[in-house]
Amino acid sequence: MERFVFSADGHVREPRELFSDAIPKHKAHLGIVVRKDDNAVMTFIGDRMIHRHMIVPPKKEWFDMGRPFHKGLFDLDARMEDMQMEGIDAEILFPTTGMLTFVLEDPEVEMRSVEAYNDWHNKFVGNRTSTFVRCGILPVRDFDNTVTEMTRLAAMGFTCAMLPSLIPPGVPNYNDPRWDQVFQAAQDLDMVMVIHTATGRPDVRAEKGPGGALVNYTGQILDSISSLMYLIGGGVLDRFPSVHVAFIECGASWLAGVGERLDEVYHGHNFFVSPKLSAAPTEIIKRQVHASFQYDRACIMSRSVTGVASLMWGSDYPHHEGTFPNSREVVAHLFDGIDISEEDKAAILGGNAATLFRLPRH
């Protein structure tokens, strides 16, 4: 049986000069610069290298595709060929270098950088908005700038925009009342706040010792867990009950466990809890929180805690740890051994994300 499949996690690659060309020359030392050699792609702020991504050899099966395996990062025709091969009907698009804009410290440089990305992204998708959901990047150093850019994105038809999973130094945490103007704007504009893993930190490869790869990549969920606790515990989602938050590329099986722990603490330590919430944390999760996952099936088994609408499958195209080019096989076995209705399967594979991000044809 063919189902509508929406990937709630996919990436594009911006032009290398996009960010460096966007800022005033006298502030070049404060902006993002990308350089490449034979071994790695390096991202700098001025002369300070903040990220070095080793060029990883493609998976064996990628060699048989007849073209560069990564072409779909910057060519939507090639990407749609890959999607057809993978059985994916639509997807949301996230940046690559643009995920580092949250570490920019100068408000003007940050604003110019996100404007450049959002304008490029809008033009890159063009008239294919029935297949690709555009997701903007927001500035966070000046919340007036944040609201201004949200308003501009909404006018262009964007339904979602990114906030950092790890709050960078110098920016108030999500329980700070200063964030209220941002979430008020999200509610007024009906804009989903997307929190993608690894945003807000300059280098996701902090641990260099034994087990570093496991520690670094598994530990990325900790930023999302922290953000969720601050958004719920600080009362933000309770004050703005129609705002939806989507956690991307950090799995979804943690969501039920954290929700139940929040419930337990909220009731067990209620005397000390402030602010008081109008609903239990798990009820707020069911109402407003969503998470994408690739392989981890425990989230499907615990959907009675989170609600089915919270779960969205995604391929993480074309990252090495993603499901590409084996997404059909992954999807075919995603529900093996799980007692689940066809309606719930369809929602998790595509309906939830298409509804959340308001895909036009859905």
Is 362 among the domain residues? no
Is 1 among the domain residues? no
* CA trace torsion 66, 68, 70, 76 (10° rounding): -70
pLDDT digits (tens, 9 = 90+) for 93-148: 999 999 999 999 999 999 999 999 999 999 999 999 999 999 999 999 999 999 99
What's the rounded mean pLDDT across residues 283-306? 98
Measured between alpha carbons, how far is 260 from 256 in angstroms, rounded to an integer? 6
Does residue 246 register a pLDDT over 60? yes
Token couple for 89: 């009907």
pLDDT digits (tens, 9 = 90+) for 163-183: 999 999 999 999 999 999 999
Does residue 238 register a pLDDT over 80? yes
Residue numbers of the domain that contains 272: 6-356
Does residue 76 register a pLDDT over 60? yes
What's the rounded mean pLDDT across residues 296-325? 95
User: Would you state the pLDDT for residue 22?
Assistant: 94
Does residue 1 register a pLDDT over 60? no
Measured between alpha carbons, how far is 7 from 32 in angstroms, rounded to an integer? 29
Does residue 60 register a pLDDT over 70? no
CATH of the domain at 69: 3.20.20.140
What's the rounded mean pLDDT across residues 184-201? 96
HEC profile for the chain?
A: CCCCCEECCEECCCCCCCCCCCCCHHHHHHCEEEEECCCEEEEEECCEEEEEEECCCCCHHHHHHCCCCCHHHCCHHHHHHHHHHHCCCEEEEECCHHHHHHHCCCHHHHHHHHHHHHHHHHHHHCCCCCCEEECEECCCCCHHHHHHHHHHHHHCCCCEEEEECCCCCCCCCCCCHHHHHHHHHHHHHCCEEEEECCCCCCCCCCCCCCCHHHHHHHCHHHHHHHHHHHHHHCCHHHHCCCCCEEEECCCCCHHHHHHHHHHHHHHHCCCCCCCCCCCCHHHHHHHHEEEEECCCCHHHHCHHHHCHHHEEECCCECCCCCCCCCHHHHHHCCCCCCCCCHHHHHHHHHHHHHHHCCCCCC
What's the rounded mean pLDDT across residues 6-32? 94
pLDDT band with cut points at 50, 70 and 90 for residue 59: low
Is 361 among the domain residues? no
The domain tally of the chain equals 1
DSSP string, 59-87: PGGGGGGSS-TTGGGT-HHHHHHHHHHHT
What's the rounded mean pLDDT across residues 71-79? 93
Does residue 63 register a pLDDT over 60? no
Measured between alpha carbons, how far is 348 from 310 in angstroms, rounded to an integer? 8
What's the rounded mean pLDDT across residues 78-88? 95
User: Would you state the pLDDT for residue 47?
Assistant: 80
Does residue 66 register a pLDDT over 70? no
pLDDT band with cut points at 50, 70 and 90 for residue 152: very high
Asked if residues 8 and 322 have their Cβ atoms less than 8 Å apart, the reply is: no
pTM for the predicted model, two decimal places: 0.94
Does residue 64 register a pLDDT over 70? no
User: Strand pairing partners for 163?
Assistant: 195
- When the pLDDT of each residue in the chain is averaged and rounded to a whole number, the result is 93
User: Would you state the pLDDT for residue 78?
Assistant: 93
pLDDT digits (tens, 9 = 90+) for 338-360: 999 999 999 999 999 999 999 98
